[in-house]
Structure 1
């Protein structure tokens, strides 16, 4: 399954570093940051059947879906494996915005199906402002007290630099956070206004080197890093061609490396339950794609998501091999691999495979090497000792001791009342 990358595009997160990655990685614990996620795609679905289309191909419950409410929308194949996921927002009775790759899947099924709905491509900026100082910064910048009353995953309107924009309450860093959204034509103006106002609040720009450490600490599994989209089966060939032809180079399916040597691409698929998203999977209806498989898995899951805390002495042995003669261990880049790999490693107990580790990264805040892992439920208790096999087959390998920890690893302080 392993491939060498043709190159890595930094454009997803701007520059690799702005101050330095150590400094930037402290921002969402001590001050705040601004991160640019405008590279995500926006598809707007409107019409009488827009919600039916979404419901048919999304695992979420839509019994309650208020105006300006957002949901973490997950789309699965017939076997309950994740195709795409992202954020879905309702802006009107028949007006829905999909942020992320899921819009392509829904647009494809709109073309194939018989729905009284239409889709348009939108071009929005999406700036995450998160951290202990985020609320105070945005209140001062906008003069709005509505932010303090915003419920989690609800959007409110605020005025920044003379423009009315949306501020979606969320918490990708596990801290108080808002995602500022609006037309890209005013994006540069909004970004600069946030930076200028943020000087008094210790704001940092989030660089590409630590953007995924944010996801690791707060336990947000990511496509092409923690799972491969379930689009490579024969019955998905039409969509696969549709989807891949639309993607820029940085969004192509991941290159795969690591000690886990899957024999088929489907071994890198994951269900929403394995990725820690069981709470968004509804069993109140069975009319969406993958519903039957997910209902059975939710009742009796085989694997769940955990964080692994890697043994520091074993990690140092890997790094030390670079200063010793002979074959060294695979390079363990800090804070994480930057080449766009899905780095999948075997998790073992007494040599037996019990899970797969992904998203390996160094947390400067915790001074720990961490990873996420989908792990068998009978080895998933917090405190369980396991080993992560570092190094691809055929290379020098090291069994690194690790301890099963909760996911998220970092305390989640993103929810609750702000005022």
Structure 2
């Protein structure tokens, strides 16, 4: 599996004097690699001399290349190519491509000449002779995508002709102004209501202090600026983030700025900018500092001078030590080109600095410049945060799922689910309404944030047998397993559903990209003939859960005789179906879910997502179909005793301690972690149990569990159960205190001053025999 890089354009910044306008021009600075899945399209800008390298594509399908000149004309000759095929916009997820064509004046044009690259073992290298907008398209049939036979991931690299300058992200829209804040300086500037300010860390690991004042206040002699206490009280969080809790307020509790995008995710929101006194007391009298720089920059706006300025310390990596409650700091998490973008909710005066601190790690020991862009109002800037598969992976910006067009009319309450936005709840129903709909009728939930990997080839079964804890040799075609991946110590890496689509074809639906990296490493180590294909966002999926879910599906599911019908699907069965009839949109249907109720999951192509959503909602109207968000799902999955990543299983927690021993088959000849799990199964130290709490108080994740004065466990997940009408929790408890019925206490207020009485119980809390899901 190769990670998909973000498409960036870069400008040659150079060293500018503080506040001087910078015209900017695009200049790539490093090779960018893109991994294209079937039906995916990627857009990149090529300059004269740039190179485009396509890995050998034997066995992974085809690649079509379309190129346009600045005036919108076709420009394949700029790459030394000629049109050899016609681009079919139905053969890939073309919404972004068609939108781009329309924005360039192409209207509803549907015919495009393309150069088709077919199977080739050797890499193909193309050189741009002129500037061109290039689109790379992986055409594939939706049937092949659903069946896992559309081919593998194709790697394409774009190398600039003459790397130079420093990286800046592609502009978010129409800019009014941009300038560079040189290291060790500060710049004040005006921001009008509706405008967006983007503060960019050019080279990475550089902090930037920020403060803003309402213009109407300055005109009347009042310094109404961002107030840390008011903001903390209003948002009830310490850090800004897109979503519900994303604003900065003044002391009158009026919103000033709204966070739109944040690609770093770690900032110190309420600390002081560095001060002269701070440097003096460390032996550096006269050291340039941000507070003085801010006072100097703001003087022309009549702002009073201060020896210490409160500030939003963007990119400053701080945290509170959980044991000693002291503020800690280390190098910034920001990488080159990371930024924060905020929308002004009033006219204001702002100041930004490029911190001069070079005597401790906060700027990576090397202060650099900060770049500021100001965008005109009414720019279509999408709300987004950054997502990285792992620390050193390329960044992607959170995207809307294929169902977002329908979801956004029902709710504005979204939260990140890996690289996609997922709805938290739907105001028309409320979390409790969604909960009871799942228990008594049927719900539909966007689960597109799940990771889906196809494992294909003659050694596919052998790889999955080695990598997972269940016996894959017993898994029949059109059947699925809930199973685990563990490391050598038996610690759970990931859990998921393994679907068998053919003798040599599996689909692994899971929560973490680490699964794919684990499979890749194991395949290389054992020299197995297998391909691991990352479907990424090409297979959006819906979960239909609840006792009426089968009734709903019977109205819209069509299956061919050679695959299981809906009535023939037992628990953890699957089939390939179509919407309504043999000509309808294809989708994979599995009888699985994360609720403990009767339920199914639909996996489809992006181009068919809206049609399938509409069909589900129309067919489900008579059954009371209700959209469900992540908040209701969290209650239901805890009642059902279902494990979650970073809760029941986490680093250092083996499968048995996570309550997942039922998914481990120690009779298998070999699998990763078997020796450790055999040892731990004989003498477990901790087990996962339920706690029935004697009140409605819901303890926090990580709350200590006590027997008398001694801690004997820790809460992994907790909620209030509407069905049981009390608070419940799952907890990892020492085996000596884990017998059902044992009375324990959950510590609150530092674990000592308040205790919640609780009785140990078995899990699941509801329907322990899973009769509902098996119905």
Q: CA deviation at 1:170?
A: 2.2
Match of 1:48 among 454, 458, 462: 458
1:364-390: per-residue Cα shift (whole Å, max 9, x none)?
Answer: 232211111122223222221111112
Go from structure 1 to structure 2 and tell me whether the alpha carbon gap of 1:391 and 1:55 turns closer, same or farther (over 3 Å shift). Answer: farther
Can you give the 5+ residue segments of structure 2 that lack an aligned partner in the other structure? 1-236, 244-413
Q: Is the 8 A contact 2:539 2:604 kept in 1?
A: yes
Which residue in 1 is equivalent to 2:729? 371
Once the two structures are TM-superposed, the CA of residue 275 in structure 1 deviates from its matched residue by: 2.2
Q: Which whole-Å CA distance do the structure 2 matches of 1:345 and 1:31 have between them? A: 34
Q: Do the aligned residues in 2 keep the contact of 1:14 with 1:207 (CA within 8 Å)?
A: yes
State the partner residue of 1:274.
657
Between the aligned partners of 1:300 and 1:59, the Cα distance in structure 2 is 19
- In the alignment, structure 1 residue 355 sits paired with structure 2 residue 713: yes
Contact 2:595–2:633 (CA<8 Å) still a contact in 1?
no
1:401 aligns with 2:757: yes
Q: Aligned partners of 1:5 and 1:134: how far apart in 2? A: 40
Going from structure 1 to structure 2, the CA distance change for 1:171 and 1:14 (only over 3 Å counts) comes to: closer
Tell me, in whole angstroms, the C-alpha distance in 2 between the residues paired with 1:397 and 1:112.
Answer: 53
Cross-structure match for 1:223: 645
1:131 equivalent to 2:546? Answer yes
Task: State whether structure 2 residue 528 is matched by structure 1 residue 106.
Answer: no
Alpha-carbon distance in 1 for matches of 2:546, 2:668: 37
Separation of aligned partners in 2, 1:4 and 1:391: 20
1:207 maps to which residue? Answer: 629
Q: Superposed, which structure 2 residues align to 1:132-211 within 5 Å?
A: 132-142=547-557, 146-160=565-579, 162-211=584-633
The answer to which structure, 1 or 2, has the higher relative contact order (CA under 8 A, 6+ apart) is 1
Mapped partners of 2:552, 2:475: distance in 1: 29
Cα distance change of structure 1 residues 41 and 132 upon mapping to structure 2, 3 Å threshold: same
> Is the CA contact 1:286–1:292 (under 8 Å) kept in the aligned structure 2?
no
Q: In the TM superposition, what is the alpha-carbon distance from 1:93 to its structure 2 partner? A: 1.2
Relative to its length, the structure with more helix (as a share) is 1
- Match of 1:239? none
Range moving further from structure 2, 101-110 or 80-89: 101-110
Q: Contact 1:127–1:181 at 8 Å: present in 2 too?
A: yes
Does the 8 Å contact 1:157/1:166 carry over to 2? yes
User: 2:585 & 2:673 partners in 1: Cα distance?
Assistant: 42
TM-score, with normalisation over the residues of structure 2?
0.43
Match of 2:398 in 1: none
Q: CA separation in 2, counterparts of 1:6 and 1:295?
A: 45
Find the aligned partners of 1:358 and 1:105 in 2 and give their Cα distance: 25
Taking a change above 3 Å as real, the CA distance of residues 6 and 403 of structure 1, as seen in their structure-2 partners, is farther
State the shift of 1:397 in Å. 4.6
In structure 2, the residue matched to 1:25 is 435
Per-residue displacement from partner, 1:268-310 (whole Å, max 9, x unpaired)? Answer: x322212222122111135222101111222333322222122
Helix, strand or coil: the match of 1:10? strand
Distance 1:37-1:414 versus aligned 2 partners, 3 A rule: same
Distance 1:390 1:380 in 2: 20
Q: Quickly say closer, same or farther: Cα 1:286–1:297, change in 2 above 3 A.
A: farther
Q: Distance in 1 between matches of 2:238 and 2:590?
A: 38
Gaps (5+ residues) in structure 1? Answer: 231-268, 316-331, 338-342
Native 8 Å contact 2:747 2:755 kept in 1? yes
Report the Cα distance in structure 2 between the residues aligned to 1:164 and 1:392, rounded to whole angstroms.
54
2:415 aligned with 1:10, yes or no?
yes
Q: Which residue of 2 aligns with 1:292?
A: 675
Map 1:229-378 to 2 at 5 A: 230=651, 269-312=652-695, 315=697, 343-378=701-736
- Size of the alignment, in residue pairs? 349
Q: Where does residue 60 of structure 1 map in the other structure?
A: 470
Task: State the superposition RMSD in angstroms.
Answer: 2.4
Deviation track 1:339-358 (CA, whole Å, cap 9, x = no partner) reads xxxx2121111122222112
Deviation at 1:63, TM superposition (A): 2.9
The answer to whether the Cα contact below 8 Å between 2:587 and 2:604 also exists between their aligned partners in 1 is yes
TM-score by length of 1: 0.77
Mark the structure with the bigger radius of gyration.
2
The secondary structure found in structure 1 opposite 2:489 is: coil
1:253 matched residue in structure 2 = none
Residues in 2 aligned to 1:111 and 1:187: alpha-carbon distance in whole angstroms: 36
Whole-angstrom CA distance in 2 between matches of 1:295 and 1:4: 44
**1:154-202 superposed Cα distances (whole Å, 9 cap, x missing partner):** 1023322512322211242221111112223322221221112111111
CA 1:386 to 1:178, structure 2 compared with 1: closer, same or farther past 3 Å? Answer: same
**CA positional deviation for 1:141:** 2.5
Aligned pair in 2 of structure 1 residues 216, 89: CA closer, same or farther (>3 Å)? Answer: same
- Please state whether the residue corresponding to 1:354 is helix, strand or coil: strand
Task: Report what 2:485 is aligned to.
Answer: 75
